[in-house]
Amino acid sequence: MAEKPTYIELFAGAGGLAEGLIRAGFHPVAHIEMDKYATLTLKTRLAYHYLTQAGKSDVYFMYIKREITRGELYNGIPEYVLSSVLNAEIREDNLGEMFKFIHNQMEKTGAQKINVIAGGPPCQAYSIIGRARDPYRMRKDKRNYLYRLYVEFLKEFKPDIFIFENVPGLLSAGGGKLWDDVRKYFKNAGYRVDFRLLNARDFGVLQNRKRIFVIGWRKNLDFQYPDFEKNTAEMYKVRDVLEDLPPLQPGEKIYAGEYAGPPSEYLLKYGIRTKTDVLTLHIARRHNERDREIYRFYIEKWIKERRRPEYDELPEHLKTHRNRKIFRDRFKVVAPDLPWSQTIVAHLAKDGHYFIHPDINQLRSISVREAARLQSFPDNYYFEGPMTAMFRQIGNAVPPLMAERIARKIKEMIE
């Protein structure tokens, strides 16, 4: 079972990084995540990989088409696969329990060692927007210091390499002092570290998404930060992600249905849709009439003028915010004729104003499946929980196409 290089993932979310590692040939040992719906998504995805390798993918598709229950799906999966996902918060007072859980998983899977630790703590405390909204600039936020707990896992399991992903604001938080402290902790744990600001659009993802990727390796290993050749998909446009999906009205939900047309070349080339896939989770949130009128205004401006107006340009009867000087781009169309969208973020769970679907006949924000595709999740990736939880999981994730490219470079280093 554990002949492949192994990994554990901390702050795992819905498994974007894990998906890349598995595709690259890594064997999962453990995933730790505090959000209960994200842990269910992880288990369902691990069930997919197990059933696919066992030649039983039809059982998985029966589940996502809602022909069998989640319990029936999980009943056919070995215990060690599902038990690799722990729904728990990583805290200083439960590290011993976490270590014991991972050691038990190593025994179950026959893993002699952990080759890679991956993951990134919740990013709100490092984000520039989060700091702007907090009167204390996040100084009192305990999430600022989760990297110190991450380091405890490095000390315990001594992986060859670790991958630490976060928002660019990690470098500027606390005037740069926080980043200095992060590097010091990694160094004291016995690792050399380097980092790059990587953009998902350079990895075949149709999204402008910049994130810091810190890679560290044990000091006795003669490694260096890998080079990534740019693999932009600029010959494709955002419409290539959207056009085969049936139109929706606000509040309309297609949990399992049929596509409106054949897949685009982009979807096929990058494995986001295959000929055997079924359409799932094409579900849209409800909108009131004022929001729909605002959406119409922004879509028309893009169609006629190819620009995104500021909030203060709205007709007076549509303005509800007194402060019109901050968040002036509160509303934004996902432009179909550009080679990438704006960054998909977890705020989608609260409202979709920043992600307006470009079709003026629909007047809605993007659906769960559309957001997942812009993050490069394949159509056979099924998210668990209510719609708001799905949006949050998708917005917080590392795009799988990006994760896979990084994981393959890591695997080359190890081998």
Looking at residue 390, its amino acid is M
Contact indicator for 412, 26 with CB cutoff of 8 Å: no
Smallest CA-to-CA distance from 242 within 346, 379, 352 is with 379
Q: Six-digit token pair at 216?
A: 């560290």
Sequence-ordered list of residues with C-beta below 8 angstroms from that of 348, at least 6 positions apart, any chain? 354, 355, 365, 366, 371, 391, 392, 394, 395
Separation in Å, CA 201 to CA 139, 156, 237: 32, 35, 12
Catalytic residue at 166? no
| DSSP single-letter state for residue 357 | -
Collapsing DSSP states into helix, strand and coil, what is residue 256?
strand
- Backbone region of residue 145 per phi and psi (left: phi > 0; alpha: psi in -120 to 50; beta: other values): alpha
CA dist., res. 391 & res. 398, Å (int): 13
Beta bridge partners of 333: 356
- Catalytic residue of the set 17, 123, 299, 333: 123
**Residue in the structure block whose two tokens are 């050691």:** 103
Give the active site residues: 123
